[in-house]
Structure 1
Amino acid sequence: MTITASRPAAAHRRKRSVLARAFGITALLSAGGSLLGLLRDLLLARYFGADQGTDAFLVSWTVPETAASVLIEDAMAFLMVPAFSLAIAAGTGAATDAGAVPGAAAKPVVAAQRGTVSAVSPGSSGTTVTTVRTGSTGSTGRGRANPVADLVAATLPPLAGLLALISAATLIGAPLLVDLLAPGLADPGLAVVCTRLTALTILPFGLTGYLSAGLRAHQRFTGPGAIYIAYNTGILAVMMLLHGSLGVRAAAGGVAFGSVLMTAVLLPPFSRHCAGLRPRRRTARGAAALAVSPWALLPIALFTLMRQSQVFVERYLASSLAPGTISHLNYAEKVAQMAMTLGVMVCTVTFPVVARALAEGDLDAARERVEKDLALVGAVVLAGTAVLLACAPQVVALLFQRGAFTARDTAATASVMRVYSLGLLGQAMVGTLVRPFFSTRPAVAFGGGTARTRDRSDWFPLAAMGLGLLVTGVLGVVTAPRYGALGLAAANAAGITLTAALLLVGIRARGVALRLRPVLLGQARLLVAASVATVAAYGAAALVGPLPLPAVLLGGLTGVVVFVLTAAAVGEPAVTAPLARLVARSRTRGRQDQGEGRHGR
């Protein structure tokens, strides 16, 4: 009995260890990519400052920003990580009917017999039984089913063709696109040239997102974590070599070159781990085992585009304000989002775990993982928000105030960053919640099942984001004439926070029944800790005086320490649990060291 009871605990420890290693790898590589991205922004400010030229480039940067959001970070991940997870589950004999997950009253019962899986799911209209053929996900042999290889063969070639067409259309339509995005731009001709260069990123970004999804579903995080190192390396190389001769066009060319490097980084590991990239003839039986629903793509893609439209609204309204306003908004957002990016890395690592649990019908495991993710993401983001609110002028001066970037630009950017930071928690919660929301009904079915059909709840994230975007637009129109960039930043924060609140409530309709009271109490405790930490960090930074580096170091360290201590004092598990594990591990290691010392004597 003792042995039986210990197996789940051992499996839990192994899973936690795998997630910890994956997070460590992702955090390390993402930190490298973020540092190179920061260096990219530093050089952009040093070489070109904040004027009509950088405004023109940043309008063109809307294309790769949108493409990255749709094709790497959000839509492609929401679509393909669940699809690959379901393919893996089908190959190992643990797949369930995805259409039976939402609203299920109990966990589906899964039984594997002789290469098939029968998923029995109680639903509102009775019991649903779906039989799925299964097989190995390893190397394919004659007569052996390989759902992962079938998925790649069915989806990658048409995806590549579609992306190439979109890239060509964007390049040709660049003048119209610039006019739509920023009609008041001072130098639209330069923006058109830069947009045609950045349009080349669409195909490699899409391939990068697809390959990343496959690797993450297979618990391979090194390649996906390194993509932004490759991306920013390409941008820096071209910008440093050609900024003197091409001006800001060098930055746009670097974006295109960096996107190609991203795909090149992922091709070898994907070919090695994800069923290979060799051409593969699909038999009639293999084709029948895979069904894809094009209808499922639409709400995911539209949600991601609407989320990115917050940037469109900002730049559209800012293009009619003073030259440099778009640049101030961009620099402020890039710095502030570093805290959010670190927090969202948590759910980036755990997303395959949630998708796999949903593919196997384990709704309880998915719910627990999402609740933990919300707490951890909130802790990381709010700690960063406290430091940014307290030390915004010193951070901006330390990073950007040199060359063409003046003290006036520092003051304007710091003010915008403080307001924009108020929406970071909302942005992080949207990123955390929308992943399991779309994973509950994957667009792919295997083994003779039917791909998912329409469901009104599929459109809930789009409706929530639409209301948030409406709030952003209305507040932006009202506040921009009087408050400028500050009004636009406040509108952004208000809109995304509303979207997060709606998703937090709406995800329960998809079968992931979050316990709202504990989740909200946890976020409230973290907000208390962030408030105390902001005051402490501000006071510490003020003690140093005008020197930015000591102020940022002292203020940042003080803010983080006070945040952790305050969160622990109010009993927030997102902080106390990791601290307890750290203390226990230190004591265990200390006892081992003592034992080794006695043995040596």
Structure 2
Amino acid sequence: MTTTRPPGLKAASLTAVLVGLGFLLGFGRDLLLARTYGADSGTDAFLVAWMVPETAAPLLIEGAMAFLMVPLFSRAAELGDDVRHLVSATLPHMGVALTALSLVTAAGAPWLVALLAPGIADAELAVRCMRFTAVTILMFGLAGYASAALRANHVFGPPATVTVAYNLGIVTCVLCFHDLGVVAAAVGVAVGGVGMVLVQIPSFVRRLGRPGRPTSTMLLPLGAFVPIAAFTLERQGQVFVERFVGSSLAEGSISHLNYAQKIAQVPMMLSLVAATVSFPHLVRAIAAGDGAAASRRLTDDLRAAATIVLLATGVLVVCAPDIVRLLLQYGAFTDADTTATAQIMRIYSLGLLGQAVVGVVCRVFFCGSRPSWYPAMAMVAGLGATVALALPSSGPSGIAAANAAGITLTAVILLAGLRGSDIGMPVREIGGPAARLLLAAVVATAAGWGARSLLEGLPSAAALVLAALAMAAAFCAVTALTGTGDFNRMIRMRGRS
């Protein structure tokens, strides 16, 4: 049996840098879209078409595909099997299925648009854009497969570049073909999807070899895939609810919701970097029956995620107008758009802790030889809450509040289920540190409000930086006073791993 050194601080740092670069390009992408197209019926139409890659990405890149394939590749590597046989037995069949699904989506675009956004103002434009974005089903699937294989072999650099490649494709096409309107952005989504595959091919071939002609057939276990896919699609269902309800509101409402969500989710995604890097190690600990090691890994990931997200939530709540103004208010994006987006973002950010907890904890239930249905059932409850609360009469802010409430409910249910999971972890293991971090976030937010009121009249950039610094100082002071030795220990352990 072969052993592999677990990922450490170097891998996490490299992944964080590349993911951060991808998000910076994502900011540039959103800024460019806002500046070029603003927030109107055209951008609403594009965002309805964008639901295809928005659904495919968590399902085929970071979600179901990773949860299914990383354990499969990790177990093969642990047993010393030739992973090339696994690739040749699974990749061709998966490619055929994804190609067929892309073609079906493109052909059925008129029906999908009518189903997802029945009140959309420019349905024809949405259909045209969706036929381009349908390509991402195939491309994201191939990219996710390659990412899972590489991460299972502790290669994290190329998988972390996929966001860079994706956003570069969109930005380049918008800059070069902006005369086509938002269709240029849809073309860019397709081009970016191709780029996500291309940036991983060299490392994939070097590490695993060229996929050969299948000598045997190994169908991916549907019994393992279905509960993971169900959870992922249900989680994405919150976006479906936003677009469905938002299509009946004033023009630009879907766009305001999208811009607010994209900005607010950046710290949440960054908070999951440690969990992404440690996922193969978590798989091995659970497979070996080492519940103590798995529990420590999960606790460390939760603390790291909560620290980042709670501080970021305070900054987003206090400085939302400054952030939106600095990032988006150019060209066609007006002051009224800034006000609407900032209001939504403040409310949406209240669900970021729930988003991060769900992203970390669900992995425990998918690491076993047979993934659990528990996360999917928890997400059903959260999605049900979102549907019940997202009323058209409450406007975009009400939709954002429904989203935050639904994902928070899901997080609570998942935490409660840890006791019965493979690691048997009681919630009290993380309750104390979580309470201290929450207290620090509340104090930091109050300090931020006070600092921001004193900075009135300064340029948005200066006010944002100074208020954020005041909040960070308050957060660090409270965590030091309340005792965060456990968190410091976690940082030192990650540096040695």
Return the TM-score normalized by structure 2.
0.95
The 5 A counterparts of 1:313-462 are: 313-442=241-370, 458-462=372-376
Determine the C-alpha separation between the residues in 1 that align with 2:107 and 2:269: 33
| Equivalent in the alignment of 2:63 | 74
Determine the C-alpha separation between the residues in 2 that align with 1:574 and 1:178: 50
Determine the C-alpha separation between the residues in 2 that align with 1:51 and 1:205: 28
**Aligned AA for 1:377?**
A
Distance change >3 Å, CA 573–CA 381, structure 1 → 2: farther
| Equivalent in the alignment of 2:133 | 198
| Equivalent in the alignment of 2:488 | 576
Most deviating of 502-511 and 24-33: 502-511
CA contact (8 A) 1:568 1:575 kept: no
**Aligned AA for 2:250?**
A
**Aligned AA for 2:237?**
S
The 5 A counterparts of 1:473-552 are: 473-477=387-391, 480-481=392-393, 483-546=394-457, 547-552=459-464
| Equivalent in the alignment of 1:306 | 234
**What whole-Å deviation, never above 9, does each CA across 1:368-423 have from its counterpart, x for those lacking one?**
10111111111111111111111111111111111111111111111100100010
Distance change >3 Å, CA 46–CA 87, structure 1 → 2: same
In structure 2, runs of 5+ residues without a counterpart are none
**What whole-Å deviation, never above 9, does each CA across 1:543-592 have from its counterpart, x for those lacking one?**
2224210011111222222212211221134543367789x99xxxxxxx
Distance change >3 Å, CA 260–CA 489, structure 1 → 2: same
**What whole-Å deviation, never above 9, does each CA across 1:484-510 have from its counterpart, x for those lacking one?**
011101100111011111111223323
Q: Which is greater in Rg? A: 1
Distance change >3 Å, CA 574–CA 234, structure 1 → 2: farther
Distance change >3 Å, CA 491–CA 575, structure 1 → 2: same
| Equivalent in the alignment of 1:256 | 190
**CA displacement at 1:282 relative to structure 2:** 3.4
CA contact (8 A) 1:475 1:488 kept: yes
CA contact (8 A) 2:260 2:345 kept: yes
Most deviating of 257-266 and 509-518: 509-518
| Equivalent in the alignment of 1:4 | none
In structure 1, runs of 5+ residues without a counterpart are 1-10, 92-134, 136-145, 444-457, 586-601
The 5 A counterparts of 1:21-420 are: 21-91=10-80, 135=81, 146=82, 148-243=83-178, 245-274=179-208, 276-280=209-213, 282=215, 292-420=220-348
Distance change >3 Å, CA 484–CA 581, structure 1 → 2: same
CA contact (8 A) 1:85 1:359 kept: no
| Equivalent in the alignment of 2:477 | 565
**Aligned AA for 1:577?**
R
Determine the C-alpha separation between the residues in 1 that align with 2:452 and 2:100: 52
**Aligned AA for 2:42?**
G
Determine the C-alpha separation between the residues in 2 that align with 1:258 and 1:23: 24
**What whole-Å deviation, never above 9, does each CA across 1:35-68 have from its counterpart, x for those lacking one?**
0000000000000001111000011110001000
**Aligned AA for 2:319?**
C
Determine the C-alpha separation between the residues in 1 that align with 2:22 and 2:336: 29
Determine the C-alpha separation between the residues in 1 that align with 2:333 and 2:143: 34
Most deviating of 573-582 and 357-366: 573-582
**CA displacement at 1:512 relative to structure 2:** 1.5
**CA displacement at 1:75 relative to structure 2:** 0.5
What SS is found at the alignment partner of 2:248?
Answer: coil
Distance change >3 Å, CA 240–CA 391, structure 1 → 2: same
**What whole-Å deviation, never above 9, does each CA across 1:276-311 have from its counterpart, x for those lacking one?**
12415637xxx7xx7853222111111101110000
Determine the C-alpha separation between the residues in 2 that align with 1:538 and 1:340: 22
Most deviating of 573-582 and 197-206: 573-582
More strand by share: 1
**CA displacement at 1:31 relative to structure 2:** 0.8
How many pairs align? Answer: 493
What SS is found at the alignment partner of 1:208?
Answer: helix
What SS is found at the alignment partner of 1:440?
Answer: coil
**CA displacement at 1:358 relative to structure 2:** 2.1
**CA displacement at 1:363 relative to structure 2:** 2.3
**CA displacement at 1:313 relative to structure 2:** 0.4
**What whole-Å deviation, never above 9, does each CA across 1:199-219 have from its counterpart, x for those lacking one?**
011101000001000111111
**Aligned AA for 1:271?**
V
What SS is found at the alignment partner of 2:413?
Answer: helix
CA contact (8 A) 2:146 2:204 kept: yes
**CA displacement at 1:539 relative to structure 2:** 2.2
State the percentage of identical aligned residues.
Answer: 50
**What whole-Å deviation, never above 9, does each CA across 1:412-457 have from its counterpart, x for those lacking one?**
11110010001000011101011121111257xxxxxxxxxxxxxx
**Aligned AA for 1:459?**
W
What SS is found at the alignment partner of 1:441?
Answer: coil
**Aligned AA for 2:446?**
V
**Aligned AA for 1:299?**
P
Most deviating of 500-509 and 324-333: 500-509
Determine the C-alpha separation between the residues in 1 that align with 2:221 and 2:131: 32
Distance change >3 Å, CA 377–CA 211, structure 1 → 2: same
**Aligned AA for 1:164?**
T
CA contact (8 A) 1:379 1:575 kept: no
* RMSD, aligned α-carbons: 2.0
Determine the C-alpha separation between the residues in 2 that align with 1:365 and 1:291: 32
Distance change >3 Å, CA 281–CA 179, structure 1 → 2: closer
